[in-house]
Amino acid sequence: MTPSLQLTDSLIASAAEAIKRASQALLDKQYAEGYWWADLTADTTLESDYILLELWMHPPVDGVWNPPSRERIDKAVQSILARQLPDGGFSIYPHGPAEVSACVKAYFALKVAGLSQNDSRMRRLCERILELGGLQAANSYVRINLSLFDLFPRDACPSIPPELILLPGKLIYQMSSWTRAIAISLAIVHSANPRRPVPEGFNLDELYVPGKPLALPRDEKLFTVHNLFLVVDKMLKQWEKHGPRSVRQRAVNKCAEWMLERLEGTDGLGAIYPPMQYAIMALDVLGYAPDDPMRQSAVDEFFRLLVDDERGFFFQPCFSVVWDTAIAAFALAEAGAMPKGAMQRAVDWLLSKEIRRRGDWSVKRPNVEPSGWCFEFANEFYPDIDDTAMVLLALNRAHGSDAAKQQACEQRTVNWLLAMQGSDGGWAAFDVDNNWQFLSKVPFADHNAMLDPSCPDITGRTLEALCGWGMKPDHPAIQRGIRYLLDTQEADGSWYGRWGVDYLYGTFLSLRGLQAAGVNDREACIQRALEWIRAYQNADGGWGESCASYDNNTFTPGPSTASQTAWAILGLLAGGDVRSISLHKGIEYLIERQRPDGDWDEDYATGTGFPKVFYLSYTDYRNTFPLLALATFVKAKTSSEDL
């Protein structure tokens, strides 16, 4: 045996040992019901917004704020302060720079909770906010939230009119599903112009840059879509003051009806933090008493997002349980390390979560039989394509206790995924052809997620799932998906990743989709992608990419992480690379950094909520994806050596 083969055999053996440890660690985390559920964490804006909600729910009495939740608020304060940067600011992702909107939210929360503006931490934060442009530079949702307490001029906030729901053409369904849930609940609140009280003498005057205008920023060029929408916004403000009250009331009633319907069968409105918060406020302004069952349920669902134990004090943006379960089951099945009992429990639990009612997606696909999975425990109006494809991948590898039930479910799932393919050949997250680009220019669209267009990462995963189920590469839907990926490949060979950071994520999933769809790995598009991956390997053998890639519109290197190294390895393997030094060094990186308990450490956000605005740390990505990468490597090496 040659030295190179001996080296390879040693690497395969080490990878196999790492797989055993990782598999056991993951199996130990499976809940008795069959699912996996890891923490999903974000930045300090969630804790800051929580304090704002407490002020809303428990307003000051005679100018004094003494909420019954004082102990919990104090914990939120400490949680926020623990993440303050040396320069005084707050970032929107770990190890990132200060971001003005996160800073303003934190300052408001800390000050209203009782910290003096003369506290050294507050002084440094105030200085950092002013350096970043002051309160005037904060985004629309910060402005709107503060205006609800008369802390920012309403005229300098974008209008979110409830009349949107009355517009022809079902305009609200041209917004992304998450924007839809936020906008409709917030429109109810905004229309009431509540001006809720704050503690006596409280203001944020010190955060304003003197002489800087408060108005929403305009484009330098005069005739732009954004500037046109600013004109429309001024007209809407006149409508709010002088329009017929009957039309406004009809719109509010329609919004309320829409929201109340979507509070059924969910973990809260949209099952994500922002609309869940605004739903509580909306129920309040609609006249629901604190002890009303509907309002109490909304509050209870919101506080289920809170973690307050040995892990710390923080709010999760939502629950990732279906997602975590599908990825874990798929990785374990790929590793051949899932005992029959654990496999059956996981599959049976997933099958029980199939959504069989029509949701918002059916507005554009009214004649399609319902199927699919949501991200959370319950969110029946919003199954998403990415979760559904990931579940189908798991079902392709694992079997439950009822084969006939699983087979019928898989067929419905495939039909639903095919029906949700966009006209461009790609797949989006929740909707079809949700890509009216001009809507991203409306004044309240600066959360950078107004739309839900097709994206390479979801398209790649969906192709892999459909072809793994048995769909042939010459099927028209598969061919259209391939063409979409070829058309969206970046000039440097990578693909954009919408739901994971960033080009590493998009590239590995696109390559896996193309591989499953039968695209020859000798094609130029594949080879360019492999060259791109290898070019950005760090000196330690791993890969890392910063969230700043979204700001820079190009790959921005970062320290190596377990999850992103796994993605790079999976991309190389999908492109047919089973022998390169880059691949072997990446495998060595994962093996050497595995902890004795089988898990890996990771201190960076590699998940994406809203690019440039909100990022996520999936706390099991660091474990499930390395397991999948190592298992795929061993399988690929074994197969290639057999040949």
Q: Which residues are catalytic?
A: 386
510 contacts 489 by C-beta, under 8 angstroms = yes
339 contacts 23 by C-beta, under 8 angstroms = no
Amino acid identity of 93?
Y
CA pair distance 509, 487, nearest whole angstrom: 15
What angle is formed at CA 284 by the lines to CA 283 and CA 286, rounded to 5 degrees? 65
Neighbours of 188 (CB within 10 A): 26
Backbone angles phi, psi at 41, to 5 degrees: -120, 160
Could you report how far apart the first and last alpha carbons of the chain are, in Å?
17
430 contacts 452 by C-beta, under 8 angstroms = yes
CA pair distance 257, 259, nearest whole angstrom: 6
Per DSSP, the three-state class of 309 is: strand
92 contacts 544 by C-beta, under 8 angstroms = no
CA pair distance 32, 36, nearest whole angstrom: 9
Please give the C-alpha separations between residue 399 and each of 48, 110, 404, in angstroms, as whole numbers. 44, 51, 11
52 contacts 109 by C-beta, under 8 angstroms = yes
Amino acid identity of 305?
L
The DSSP output letter for 201 is T
36 contacts 26 by C-beta, under 8 angstroms = yes
Residue position matching structure tokens 């979204």: 550
CA pair distance 457, 449, nearest whole angstrom: 16
Per DSSP, the three-state class of 139 is: coil
CA pair distance 108, 98, nearest whole angstrom: 16
624 contacts 562 by C-beta, under 8 angstroms = no
